[in-house]
Chains A and B, each alone.
Chain A
Amino acid sequence: MTADAERTSAPAGAGGWLEQRTRGRALAAALLHVRIPAEARTLYFGGSALFLFGIQVATGTLLALYYKPTPAAAYDSVLYVMSDVSFGWLIRSVHHWAANLMILFVVLHLLRVFFQAAYKYPRELTWVFGIGLFGITMVFGFTGYLLPWDQRAYWATVVGTEIAGFVPVIGEQLLVLLRGGIDVTEATLSRFFGLHVLVLPLALAGLLAVHLTLVHQLGLANPKRPDPRGREPEGRTTPFFPNYILDELIAWYVLLALLVVLASLFPAGLDDKANALETPVGTKPEWYFLAVYEFLKLVPRLVGIMVPIVGLGLLAALPFLDRKPEVLARRRKMAVGVATLVLGGAVALTVRGFLP
C-alpha cells in the first residue's frame, strides 16, 4: 500500500490525524491482535506485578517530590508527607502496600511459571530475564525500606547489610560498598536513594521491556502440552485482545480495590526517628527476607549465605538443567517435589521469623 493510499484509508478526525503522524495502528495491531492458547492459565500474576510496578512508578514519583534523602531531613519529610500533604498518607500507604504486593505477585508469577513448566523451550531466556526482574524487585524492597529513616528501617538495614557482609571472599567489600562505609550512615541513605529512584527503575524497565518482548514474540505457554520444536504450536486459541486484556483489566481493578482497602485500614506506619545508639528489641528484616534471616540463624554462616546464592543461580539456570519437554506436573515429580520442599521450608522459616 502506498503512502497516499494509507493516508486516504486513515480515519478522519483526531484519530486520523494521529494515525497519519504515528502509523501506530499497525504497531497496535501487531502488539494486540495476537492469539493465545485457550488452555493458558496465567492467573494474572505477571500482569498484576506489571500493574503494581506502574503504581510504584506513579506513587514513587509523587513521594520523591517531597522526600529529602538526608538523615537530618528524611524522617521529617516522610512525616510531613503523612501529616500535612493532601492525600500524602494515601500515596505513601499505596506505595508501601504496592511494594509488598509486587514482591508477592512476582513470587507467585515465578511459581506459576515453574509449576506450569513455562520456562521450557522456547522460553528459557524469558525465564532468565524474569529471574533478573525478581532479583531487582527484592533489591527495590530492600533499598526502599531504609528511606523513611526510622528505627525499624535503620536497624533492618543494619541487619540486612550485615547478611551481605557474610558473603565469602567479597563480603567485607560488599558491606562497605552497600553502606558506603563501615556503618549505616548518610552515605548509605544516599546510595539506597540513588539506587531506588534511578538505577533500579531503569534496570527494571530495561529487563521488563526484554521480558515482555519475549513474551510477545513467543506467546503464552500451554500448560497442557509442550511447544513443538521448529514449528508453530497447535491447538485451540483465543484472542489476546480484547478478551484476555479485559480479564487482566478486571484483575487490576480488584488489585486497586485491595490497595485502597489496605492503605485506608492499615496506613504505612512510621517508627521513632533512627537512632544509631539505641537498638530496638526484636530487630528483624522485612518478611521477604525473613526466611534467609532465619536460615542464617539455624546453620553455619557460610552455609546460610551460600545456599540462597547458589539457589538463586540454580533457579536462573533451571531451563538449561531441566531440558525434558514434559510440562505436566504429575510427570515432573522430581522438580515439583524439590520445589515444594524448598517452598515449604521457606514458608516455615518465614513463619518462624514472625513468631516472638
Chain B
Amino acid sequence: MVPGRAQVRRRRLLAAAAIPAGMLLLVLASGARAEDSTLAQVPFATPSPLPSLIPGPPPPTPLPHPPEGQTNQCFECHRVVNHRQETIATAWQESIHGKGGVTCADCHGGDPTSDRMGIAMDRTKGFIGSPSRAQTVGICGSCHADPERMRKYNLPTDQYAKYWTSVHGQRLAAATDTQVAICIDCHGSHDIKKASDPTAAVYPPNVPKLCASCHADARKMEPYGIPTDQYEVYSKSVHGVALLENADVRAPSCASCHGSHAAKPPRDTEVVEVCGKCHTATQALFMQSRHAELSTAAPKCWTCHGTHDVAQPSQKLFFHEVRPDHQCNTCHDPVDKSLRIELDQFKNESERRCDTCHHPDSDIYAQVEAIASSLAGAQGAFDSADARIHEAAGVGMIVEDADVTLSEAKTSLIQSQAAVHTTKLTIISATAAEAKAKAENAGTIAQARLDESVFRREAMVVVVALIVLNVVALSLVRRRVERRSRHHGGDAEATVEP
C-alpha cells in the first residue's frame, strides 16, 4: 500500500524529532562511551560515567623500620598517658601488626628508641604524627605494595595499585576527595585484624554492614547522588539472606561483585563474568543463548535477576500477571524499526519478565510459553511427588527409595531450570521431561507406600477383630469353668486351714 501524504508528513516529523533526541542521548552517554558503548542502556546498574583512569601515585618509600630488639618506647609511654592512649596502645598490641612486629614508628615515624618526647617525636627526624587521610593510603601501600616485605606473610601486593583504580581511589586522586573510603576505614587503624578473623570488619559476612556504614548514610552519600538503600535491598535478597541470616560464607557480599580494593560497580560488559565467578555452569549455559549473541539491547544476568535484590528465580519470571500493553515503539525504533529496548525498565522486579521484551504475537513468545509449560509440568510433578512422600512418611512409611528418586528428579529439575539460560526449547524441554519422569516415578513409589499403609490398616482391623473374637471365646470358657467349679462343690475357691 502507498502511504498517504499525511502519513509521510507524520513520519518526517517523527524522524526530525528523533534526531535531536538521539543526539541528546549520545551526549548524555558520551562519558560512558569512553569504556563501554552499552553503558547507557543500564543506567540503574552502572557506575557514574568516569573519565579515563587517573594513575595513582607510586608507593612511597617505607618509613625506616626501627632496629630489631629495640624497646618500643612509643608504646611504653603512650599506654600510661591516659585512657584513650591506653586503649590505642592495647589495640595495637593485640592487632596483627602488633603481633607481627610492625611498630608505631613504621606508620608514625619518629625515634622509638628514645623515651624523651623531644627526640622521639621530632618532626625533623621524620616524625609525622597522625598521617592525613591522603597520606595514609601511601603509608599502607609503602609496605603492602612491596613484594619483598610481604613475602614472609604470603600476602598479595596489588591492593595499593587496585585501590587507585577504584571509585574511592579515583575520587581521592582526581578530586582530592578525602571523604572516600581509605584503607583504615575498612581495616581499622590500630586494631587491624586478619580478614579471616570473624571479628574483623572485613570478614565476608561483616562486609555488607561495613560498606553500609557509609553507603547507607544519606548524609555521606548526598554529595555523590547515589542511592542509599543497597544494604536494605541486599539483606532481603537471596544472597543477603544466605550470608547474613544463614551465615553461609559462600554467598556473595558487596566485595564479591564490586571488588574490594578496586571497588567499582560491574559494568554491563562485565556482569556475566562477575555472576559467572560463582554461577559457572549457568554462565556456560547463558553463553549458548541467543541473548549472549546480541550486541545491542542484550539482556544480561541483571536484566532478569536484578542487582542487589536478586530473588529466588521462579516461574513468575516468564510472564506478567497482566499482559503488558505493547506498542510497536515499545521495543522498536519508529524510524528504522531496530530494537530499542530501554533496559532501565527492568529496574523494578515486577518488570523482569520475558514478555517485557517478547511480544505475545511473536514466535519467540510462543517458544517462551512452551518453555514455561514444560518447566511448570516438571515442577508440578515434583511438588505432587514431594507431597505424597511427605504424606507417606507422615503415616510412618519408609520412603527412602522415593526420596532418592525425588532427589534425582530435583537435580534434573534444577538442570532444566538452569537450561532456561540457553533460551533453547529443545534443551529445556528435554531436561524438563526427564525431571518430570523422575518425579512421577518418585510419586508412584510414594503412592505405593500410601496404598500399603491403607492395606496395613485394613489388615489390622481384621486381625484385631479376630483377637476380639478369641478374647470373647476365652471369656466364655473362663465363665463356664468358674460356674462348673462352683457347681462341683466350690472347687474354684477353697479355704486352706492352718
Contact = CB atoms under 8 A, between A and B. Distances in A.
Q: A and B: real partners?
A: yes
Interface of A: 35, 38, 79, 82-83, 89-90, 228, 231-239, 242-243, 246-247, 249-250, 253-254, 256-257, 260-261, 264-267, 269-270
Contacts of B491: 239
B478 A246 contact: yes
A256 B401 CA distance: 31
Contacts of A246: 474, 477-478, 481
Contact of B493 (A38, A228, A231, A233): A38
Contacts of A264: 456-457, 459-460
Contacts, number: 87
Interface in B341-382: none
Given A265-B396, A265-B457, A250 B494 contact: no
A234 B396 contact: no
B468 interface: yes
Contact of B460 (A242, A243, A250, A261): A261
Interface in B431-476: 456-457, 459-460, 463-464, 467-468, 470-471, 474-475
B482 interface: yes
Contacts of B498: 228, 231-232, 234
B399 to A, nearest CB: 9
Contacts of A82: 398
A233 B478 contact: no
A228 B498 CA distance: 10
Classify chain B's interface size: 20 to 34
25 contacts: A35-B494, A35-B496, A79-B398, A89-B456, A228-B498, A231-B498, A232-B498, A234-B496, A234-B497, A234-B498, A235-B495, A238-B492, A238-B493, A243-B482, A243-B492, A246-B481, A249-B474, A250-B475, A253-B471, A254-B471, A264-B456, A265-B396, A265-B457, A267-B397, A267-B456
A267 B396 contact: yes
Interface of B: 396-398, 400-401, 456-457, 459-460, 463-464, 467-468, 470-471, 474-475, 477-478, 481-482, 485, 491-498
A265 B460 contact: yes
A215 B468 CA distance: 30
Contact of A261 (B397, B398, B464): B464
A249 B459 CA distance: 23
B493 A236 contact: yes
Contacts of B459: 264
Contact of A266 (B396, B478, B496): B396
Counting chain B CB atoms within 10 Å of each CB, the highest count among A234, A249, A257 belongs to: A257
Contacts of A257: 463-464, 467-468
A40 to B, nearest CB: 12
Nearest to B400: A79
A246 B470 CA distance: 12
A222 to B, nearest CB: 11
Contacts of A261: 460, 464
B463 A253 contact: no
Contacts of A237: 493-496
B492 A239 contact: yes
| Closest 8 A/B residue pairs (Cβ) | A264-B460, A246-B478, A267-B396, A257-B467, A234-B498, A82-B398, A264-B456, A253-B471
B278 to A, nearest CB: 25
B496 to A, nearest CB: 5
A89 B398 contact: yes
Contacts of A242: 478, 481
A250 B464 contact: no
B493 A83 contact: no
Contacts of B467: 253-254, 256-257, 260
Contact of A243 (B398, B456, B478): B478
Contacts of B478: 242-243, 246-247, 250
Contacts of B401: 83
